[in-house]
Amino acid sequence: MTQKPEHTGLSDALVRFDDVRKSFRTARGRRQQALDGFSMSIPRGSVVGLLGPNGSGKTTALKTLLGLVRADSGSVHAFGHALPKDQRYVAGRMGALIEGPAFNASLTGEHNLRLIGELHGAGPAEVADALELVGIAHAARRAYSGYSLGMKQRLGVAGALISDPELLVLDEPMNGLDPEAVRDMRELLKRLRDERGMTVVVSSHILAEVELVCDWVTIVRNGRVICDAGVSELISRGTEHLVVRVHDTVTEQAVAVLERHGHTLTRAAGPRGTDELRMPAPRPHPHAPEVLRLLTAQDVYPRELLVESVSLEDIYVAAVRAADAAAEDGPFERR
């Protein structure tokens, strides 16, 4: 797993946002603060997941990086260049798919890609390579209008890859994809990192996918970063649980045995006539053998025992709730 450098300086990070603020004027004339002291860095060679509730500022942050939105204050640097002043120096080093692909429906996928390629000095070989990479070479000569949602999304990613960028920025690339296409996208992102050394930033609401593909996550709420850490580190910091699944005819007996031995349980209905008894599991050795011994000594035979890790979803929900609670308590909350 890629090690993320601390926020020590621009040399460590491909991209760095420092205290970025951006507000928009809404149709009703109100000011909407999209970024409110947003700071994050994107380490070279990693896949970073940008997470956050709807409207938390993810797309605005990415647009600021790509020169599509101008920050009100703060600084954004990419490849050591200050943006947007030096945007022209970095434009060719970044590829992006923001808010869905925009292609000419009557042209073929290949033709659409050739047009994008011309803007980047990319020829037929690069177009073929990009189509191959995203797995739609077989549909290159078909009209875009006949593409499925997944194929359109893949062509969008191919468009972002056409200039062979060092940094790939994808806004919700898994949206609308079927499970197989989601898996292909995940494998593609990993390959781009591992085989091409590409740095990838993905914003997404599909936390299970982010957990599978990302090295690092940055969680945004109300335009500010509330969590920025390695995925495996976050997961290893979380509490594991031992789950004992018993037939519901012996639930009371199992609860009595375990509580008598000092275990604190929560219980919930499990599948097909079972109950699940859940208790915090000590690390690094969960107490499954001891629990099994206690139960079987009383003729209670569990259907299943498993150690359940904390998921990125648990971490995300906890981080957002904690930030919400802190905001309610704080007298200076602006939103």
Ligand X SMILES: Nc1ncnc2c1ncn2[C@@H]1O[C@H](COP(=O)(O)OP(=O)(O)OP(=O)(O)O)[C@@H](O)[C@H]1O
Contact residues for ligand X, defined by CB under 6 A: 24, 26, 32, 34, 52, 54-60
Nearer to ligand X, 59 or 108 (CB): 59
Q: Which of 200, 196, 141, 135 is nearest to 164 (CA)?
A: 196
Q: How far is the CB of 234 from ligand X (least distance, A)?
A: 20
Q: How far is the CB of 156 from ligand X (least distance, A)?
A: 16
Torsion of CA 245, 247, 250, 256, to 10 degrees: 10
Q: How far is the CB of 184 from ligand X (least distance, A)?
A: 23
Cα 186 to chain centroid, rounded? 11
Nearer to ligand X, 36 or 166 (CB): 36
How far apart CA 6 and CA 319 sit, in angstroms, is 20
What are the phi and psi torsion angles at 257 (to 5°)?
Answer: -60, -50
Nearer to ligand X, 35 or 291 (CB): 35
Nearer to ligand X, 8 or 54 (CB): 54
Q: How far is the CB of 98 from ligand X (least distance, A)?
A: 10
Q: How far is the CB of 107 from ligand X (least distance, A)?
A: 28
Q: How far is the CB of 38 from ligand X (least distance, A)?
A: 10
User: Cβ(20)–Cβ(73) under 8 Å?
Assistant: yes
Nearer to ligand X, 100 or 238 (CB): 100
In Å, what is the CA distance from 50 to each residue of 231, 261, 292, 318? 12, 43, 41, 16
Handedness of CA 315, 320, 321, 327 (dihedral sign): positive
Instruction: Note the helical H segments in the chain.
Output: 58-66, 87-90, 109-119, 124-133, 149-161, 179-196, 207-213, 231-237, 251-260, 288-297, 312-329
| Rounded (10°) angle between helices 251-260 and 288-297 | 120
Q: How far is the CB of 152 from ligand X (least distance, A)?
A: 18
Nearer to ligand X, 9 or 55 (CB): 55
Token pair of 59 as six digits = 């797309």
Nearer to ligand X, 100 or 280 (CB): 100
